[in-house]
Amino acid sequence: MIDLDHIVDVILQEDCLVENWRIMSETQNEKSARRASARLLERFSNDLLAEASSLHERKVSRFLRRNRQLVAEKILHQVEEITSPAFPRHESSNRSRDIGEEELGPVSSETESSDGDGYAATETKAQETEHFVLSSEAFKLFKANLTNHIAPEPTTQGSVSLVLQHPKKLVKLILSEPKVAPGMSRHCGREMFDDYIETRPGGLKTLEKMLNRNHMLSSANPDLSNPNSGRTAGYGLFEWVKGLMSFQYRSKQPALPQHRDNTPNRQQPTPLMRDTRVGDLEFLLLCVPHRRHGTKMINVDVVDISSDVDFFLLLRRQYHSRRGRFEKFLSLRTLVSMRFVEFEAYVNNLADIHKLDSIPSESMRDECTYYPMPAEHIPPIGPNMLKHLYDHPEEAKAINFCFRKVPKKRKEKLVACPIRGSRTGWGIQYIEGIHWLKALICGLLAISLSTVTGIGWSVLRDDVQGGFTIASFMLTALTCLMGLIQSYLEAL
C-alpha cells in the first residue's frame, strides 16, 4: 500500500522545495498555486515513470500522477503550517525522517495491529519508495522546474546538460523548459518555447547570448518594436474580412511596374555573414503541399537575400504564390508550422520527407552551405520561432541571424539523378492544417442564413414547422456545399 502522506513527507524533506512553495503561496492565490503545483507534480510523475525499473516504482509513479491534485493541496497546507510562526518546523515529527530510521508506511490501526512480518514488509516498501524518489534524476529536474517557476532564468544550459547526460529523456525536456525571465519576452509580449539538441558544446549558450543582445538592441530602438503589439485578436478577424471584401477590387487592378529604389538616403539592411564563395549561386529548397497528400520541391534563388526580413518575406511570397486566387479565400487550410527536413526529390519534383529537424553534415560542404558549419544546435531555428517570424517578418529586424543558419543548395538547383531517379536534399517544409477562424466564420454564416430563412418563412407564411424544416434543409445543403468546395480545392 502506498501512503499519500508519506509521499508528501518525502518530497518536503528538501528545504529548498519548502522555501519555494512558501514563496509560491505568498505570491499566488491558492487556486493558482495548487494548479501550478499539480502541473509540476504531473511532470515529475511522468519523469519518474520513465526511470522506473520495478513494479513497485511504476506503482509509485502512477499513484503520484493520479493523486497530483490532492498531493499539491496537502503540500501547500503543510508548507503553510511549517512556515507559520505558531508552528515551528522542528516540532513536526513527521518531517524529520531519514531513510531507514523511521517507519514510512501508512499510519492506521491495521498497521499497529499487524504482525512483525507485515510491519517489516511495509517498512521495506516505504524505504524503497523514499530511496527511489529522492535518488532519481527526475527529482533533480523537479526541483529545477519548481525553482524556475518561482524565479525563471533565461538560460537553458541546465536543461541541455541534463539531456546530454540522459539522452533517453529528450522527450521529457518539453515538460521542463524554463519560462522567459521578466523583461525578456518577445515584442508582442507572448512567451515562446522551442526544443533544441546541442551538437557543439556552448551552442545553446551562444544562441541565448544572441537573442539577449538582439532583445536589448530592439528595446533601445523603438523602430524595431512590433507595430502589431497593441492589436487584439479581433483585429485579425477584421483584416481577414476586409481582405475578403476587397479581393474583387484588387484583382482587377493592373500590376504596377517594379523597380529598384536607388535613393542614396535609403537605409540598407545589415549584410549577413555567409559562408559562400565568389560567384556561387544559392538555392533554398522548399517543400510545399501538393494536392491532397503530395509534397513538391521547389528551388528558390536566394543569392540576393541580404537580411532576415527579406528572407521571411520570400517565404511568405513562395507559399501564397502556390495557392490559387480563389483558394486563398475559400480554402479552410492554412499554414500551421514550418520544419527543417531531409527529403528525397524525384524527377517530377515530388518530395518524400524522410526526417524532421535535419540539416546536412559538414561532409556536404561542397554541395550545401549554412553558417556556422557544422551547426551548433539542431534545428537551426526552432519551429515556433520560425513560424512566428514568418507571420511577423517585421520583427526579424531585431534578429538578423536566421537566414545564414538555413541550409541552402550551392552552385546549382537540386535535380533528381537520372540514373537513380532521385536525390537527397535539405530544406524547409510547409505544413498545413485547418484554419479554425475561417471554419468558425463559415459555420456561423451557414447557421445565420438558415435561421433567418426559417424565421422569415415562419413570420410571412405563419408556418413555424415548415419554416424551420426549410432552415434545417438549408443548413445541411450549405454544409455539404462547403465540403464539396474543400474537396475540389484539395484536388486541384
Cβ of 148: how many Cβ atoms within 10 Å?
Answer: 20
Kindly report, residue by residue over 400-439, the tens digit of the pLDDT.
678 989 999 998 999 999 888 999 999 999 999 999 998 9
CA atoms within 13 A on the CB side of 21: 30
What Cα–Cα distance (Å) separates residue 295 from each residue in 298, 358, 373? 10, 17, 28
pLDDT at 48: 84
Backbone angles phi, psi at 235, to 5 degrees: -65, -40
- CA atoms of 311 and 206, how far apart (whole Å): 22
Name the pLDDT band for 230 (thresholds 50, 70, 90): very low
Q: Is there a contact between 371 and 274 (Cβ–Cβ < 8 Å)?
A: yes
Q: At what angle do helices 68-82 and 30-51 cross, to 10 degrees?
A: 120
- CA atoms of 339 and 383, how far apart (whole Å): 6
pLDDT at 31: 84
Q: Is there a contact between 380 and 370 (Cβ–Cβ < 8 Å)?
A: yes
43-59 average pLDDT score: 85
pLDDT at 76: 86
Beta strands 368-369 and 408-410 are: antiparallel
- CA atoms of 26 and 482, how far apart (whole Å): 53
DSSP H helix total and E strand total for the chain = 17, 9
The answer to which of 63-77, 253-267, 458-472 has the lowest mean pLDDT is: 253-267
User: Long-range contacts for 159-162 (Cβ within 8 Å, ≥24 apart)?
Assistant: 160/196, 160/198, 160/204, 162/137
The answer to which of 120-124, 195-199, 231-235, 346-350 has the lowest mean pLDDT is: 231-235
- Mapped onto helix, strand or coil, the DSSP state of residue 284 is strand
CA atoms within 13 A on the CB side of 181: 11
DSSP string, 65-109: HHTHHHHHHHHHHHHHHHTSTTS-GGG-GGG---TTTS--S--SH
Return the residue matching grid coordinates 500551421.
336
Residue-level length of the chain: 492
- CA atoms of 121 and 358, how far apart (whole Å): 51
Per-residue cell: 103: 517507519
Per-residue cell: 12: 518536503
Q: Where is mean pLDDT largest: 1-5, 29-33, 197-201, 301-305?
A: 301-305
Name the pLDDT band for 315 (thresholds 50, 70, 90): very high
pLDDT at 304: 85
The answer to which of 33-37, 134-138, 321-325, 445-449 has the lowest mean pLDDT is: 321-325
- CA atoms of 72 and 68, how far apart (whole Å): 6
Per-residue cell: 169: 529523456
pTM above 0.85, yes or no: no
In one letter, which amino acid is 23?
I
Q: What is the CA radius of gyration of the chain?
A: 30
Secondary-structure breakdown of the chain: helix, strand, coil percentages, each rounded to the nearest 5: 55, 10, 35
pLDDT at 401: 79
In one letter, which amino acid is 358?
S
- CA atoms of 400 and 306, how far apart (whole Å): 9
Does the N-terminal peptide bond of residue 379 adopt cis geometry, omega within 30 degrees of 0? yes
The answer to which of 47-56, 90-99, 219-228, 465-474 has the lowest mean pLDDT is: 90-99
Q: Is there a contact between 6 and 137 (Cβ–Cβ < 8 Å)?
A: no
Tell me what percent of the residues of the chain surpass a pLDDT of 90: 25
Give the chain's mean pLDDT: 75
Q: How far apart are the two ends of the chain, measured CA to CA in Å?
A: 62
Q: For residue 423, what are the β-bridge partners?
A: 345
Q: Is there a contact between 424 and 342 (Cβ–Cβ < 8 Å)?
A: yes
What Cα–Cα distance (Å) separates residue 323 from each residue in 290, 326, 329, 335, 487? 10, 8, 10, 11, 15
Name the pLDDT band for 165 (thresholds 50, 70, 90): very low
Return the residue matching grid coordinates 525499473.
53
- CA atoms of 288 and 300, how far apart (whole Å): 12
Please give the helix or strand (H or E) that residue 39 lies within, else none: helix 30-51
433-460 average pLDDT score: 93
